[in-house]
A and B are shown apart, each in its own frame.
Chain A
Amino acid sequence: MRIKLKIWRQKSRNASGRFVSYPVENVNPDMSMLECLDVLNEQLIQQGEDPVAFEHDCREGICGSCGFMVNGVAHGPLPATTVCQLTMRHFNDGNELVLEPWRARAFPLIKDLVVDRRSFDRIIAAGGYISVSTGSAPDGNAIPVPKEAADRAMDAAACIGCGACVAACPNASAALFTGAKMTHLGILPQGKPERDVRAIRMVAQMNEEGFGGCTNIGECTGVCPKEIPLEVIAAMNRDYFRASWRERDNVVTTIRPFTEWSTGSKLQVDPPSGR
């Protein structure tokens, strides 16, 4: 089949960008979207042009490296599928596909379809862990975990950190990503002791990075390749409220009400140390 790719080309963060159209012939329906870009890039190199930069590694839908908008939809039209797993058989001969990078203030562009997602790492660093140093763990079976809790924790832990939720959200909110980590750790008995401080720190970091607030639109879960449910955002809000109430006298000095961060205004919380 033949496909026309209309791709956002931008040499670097400060350069100006534009769409360029490229015809790709001999597209095999079993190819993935990324293999189709490989074919295009081989052509471009042969012609002495700059190949299209796009991020990828595992090509199995698990590392979270890949991702761009396909015709306005993060990761393209197929539900629960990253672009590396999206095969061309889902398009028709002669289709035009518009490929654009994730666009969000907290994801500055690097080149073409590649953006900088380090803000996600910083949200995790703020509190997305259980503080247990190597060697200090009790026996694995010492604390039973109900199967249901383990399953629910796993559902949330499946997040691959791709950033599609942010790209799809009109507010560029990272609530689904952040909520997924808080839910994963919060459900497990091992994660309970730090639940409050985790909620406060992660939400604060999320705001500091310039992600927008969540207004319950739900676009995020629709494009999420791991189908992380909206409930994780509700759980995050619940944890955050409860934590702000309980911790109002100690950890946090200047916490602002929910409505403010949920509409994206900047929140001042004591900055986690070491940043």
Chain B
Amino acid sequence: MKLVNPANKRRHTLIVVGSGLAGASAAATLGELGYHVSCFCFQDSPRRAHSIAAQGGINAAKNYQNDGDSVYRLFYDTVKGGDFRAREANVYRLAQISVNIIDQCVAQGVPFAREYGGTLANRSFGGAQVSRTFYARGQTGQQLLLGAYQALERQVQAGTVTMYPRTEMLDLIVIDGRARGIVTRNLVTGEVDTHLGDAVILGTGGYGNVFYLSTNAKGSNVTAIWRAHKRGALFANPCYTQIHPTCIPVSGDYQSKLTLMSESLRNDGRIWVPMKKGDKRTPDQIPETDRDYYLERRYPSFGNLVPRDVASRNAKYVCDEGRGVGETGLGVYLDFGDAIRRLGRKAIEERYGNLFDMYQRITDEDPYTVPMRIYPAIHYTMGGLWVDYHLMSTIPGLFVIGEANFSDHGANRLGASALMQGLSDGYFIVPYTVGDYLATNKLDKVAETHSEIRNAVACVQQTVQKLLGINGKRTVDSFHRELGKIVWEYCGMSRNAQGLETAIEEIRSLREEYWQNVKVPGSGDDFNQSLEKAGRVADFFELAELMCVDALERNESCGGHFREEYQTADGEAQRDDEEFSYVAAWGYRGYGNREDLSKEPLEFQYVHPSQRSYK
């Protein structure tokens, strides 16, 4: 890998979009190296990125517990957990870097949980049989993000990074085939601006909000990567989405988002439903003999700690059988009764206190005495822009990091590994690979008046004016909710060909209606939250169709992509390695046209694909 001469670094301007774990760590590190960095986020402060909400923890192959962990085992677990749909080389590198991340974060002052002797504590997480997850109470994402944010602010102070909060990227500027800048809208004044640079790095997070109800923050969106996709970046595996098994069930149609209960709860909580259909007794009235601890029964070796896709699917099965609990019948119990008897209430309080408080605040029930009710919800998107080993997209000079790329998790992500990937990409990978790109390419200065720049600005202004001009009858939210229902119904926890075809039609006609009948109040030249949403939902509409197209194309089940037609006799996902051991990378071909499919074959040299078993 080539290096950039230190004296030359400050001559390069780099654009980092996003200030989550991936974006903030990248911007801070690039600033430390001496580059000139412009960093963007849509919130009022970089510290508010969605990463802040991660609860459970971050994996690293430290083997501090001496329980047989190693870089190889983390690599193996991640490839297997991803149902053999990830690139081995990327995953191996991720496992290697995992140990450096912990060191870096400790040095920054991240207050990880400690043992009495002062060493770092660990817990175990779904899909692993070793204890390799580092955590800071139930606020691991917050503490890691604050660490990265503080490093970022240190660079702001040093003058290497300029931070642009409340600024949304609305287009990518591509000149002579290379990414050379972005078009932004200032969310307070409405001003549309351009920012030019020698490379653009997107760390803009996942697109789970296409489902409307998800555990993502309300502002999480696909806009930045979608607009880059429309400028030529391939979009990989859009249908790989993760449904998290432990969320608070939906309670009413006013609901604006779903709340996750950290997966770490499955360490001590036991999941069950009544044996009998339609058992309306309260949980304390149901004796042990009438309870079905279905995960422990079906998966004796992993029990309640099976990976997320397996846990979610099984919850769906028991609810489909009519054994679900709560008013809607869409829920299962997560019971801490045993753990409290065994370890005492204090120990449980110490481990999960803030999660229990949150649950109580939302549901008005006390989880120390009444089992929690949980149900799966959309949580994470494994798909994203296609990147090579250097995390560069198919547009030279456009790098994609964190949840926004597709790189490491295959068809299913293991718990506590998104934080690891975001920080690995941002602190330890992209700072080097961007340097290599700059050192090996001659980048001429771009004239501010270049026609591509004017063209991109005009595009953005047109979209804004168009949305404001429709002045129809329905609000943006009402469309978004309806879109979400379609995607959840047909492209959610399980999918089939017929449903997906229906979904594509419904999405198309709703999208038509959107452009005729949406009502966006206010103007384009001030603070207008409806307008922000309207642009994002327009992009979700296009993405939603591509997700269904991708799901329809993939005639197999793998990880979070469960096609009902392809399952084993006992209802597990059935892969088809002969036909589908590839990354599906889609190319944009104009509004409303079917996208072009390219395939990157996956080869496995070390971890041999097998039927995933957690029995």
Contacts and interface: CB of A to CB of B under 8 A. Distances in A.
B161 to A, nearest CB: 10
A134 B117 CA distance: 27
A274 B157 contact: yes
Interface string A110-141: 11001011101100111011111111111111
Interface string B475-503: 10110000000000000000000000000
Given A57-B43, A128-B153, A188 B109 contact: yes
Nearest to A115: B44
Given A56-B218, A60-B53, A144 B119 contact: yes
Chain B interface size, under 10 / 10 to 19 / 20 to 34 / 35 or more: 35 or more
A59 B427 CA distance: 28
A268 to B, nearest CB: 19
Contacts, number: 221
A125 B153 CA distance: 5
B450 interface: no
Contact of A60 (B64, B103, B137, B259): B259
A35 B137 contact: no
A130 B149 CA distance: 11
B222 interface: no
A210 interface: no
A46 interface: yes
B362 interface: yes
B527 interface: yes
Interface stretch (A47-55, A68-76, A258-266): A47-55
B137 A134 contact: no
A154 B136 contact: yes
B67 interface: no
Given A128-B153, A132-B104, A38 B477 contact: yes
Contact of A48 (B112, B117, B154, B521): B521
A59 B116 contact: no
Interface in A55-106: 55-65, 80-81, 85, 87, 89
A150 interface: yes
B188 interface: yes
Given A35-B256, A145-B118, A161-B45, A137 B139 contact: no
B472 to A, nearest CB: 11
B370 interface: no
B64 A141 contact: yes
A12 interface: yes
A130 B478 CA distance: 46
A114 B527 contact: yes
Interface string A191-212: 1000000000000000000000
B109 A190 contact: yes
Interface of A: 11-12, 28, 30-32, 34-35, 38-39, 42, 44-46, 48-51, 53, 55-65, 80-81, 85, 87, 89, 110-111, 114, 116-118, 120-121, 124-126, 128-141, 143-147, 150-151, 153-154, 157-158, 160-161, 184-185, 188, 190-191, 272-275
28 contacts: A30-B362, A38-B256, A42-B477, A45-B475, A50-B522, A59-B257, A64-B45, A65-B43, A87-B364, A121-B47, A124-B149, A125-B156, A125-B157, A132-B104, A134-B104, A134-B427, A134-B431, A137-B108, A140-B106, A144-B117, A146-B118, A151-B114, A154-B137, A157-B136, A188-B109, A188-B111, A191-B109, A274-B157
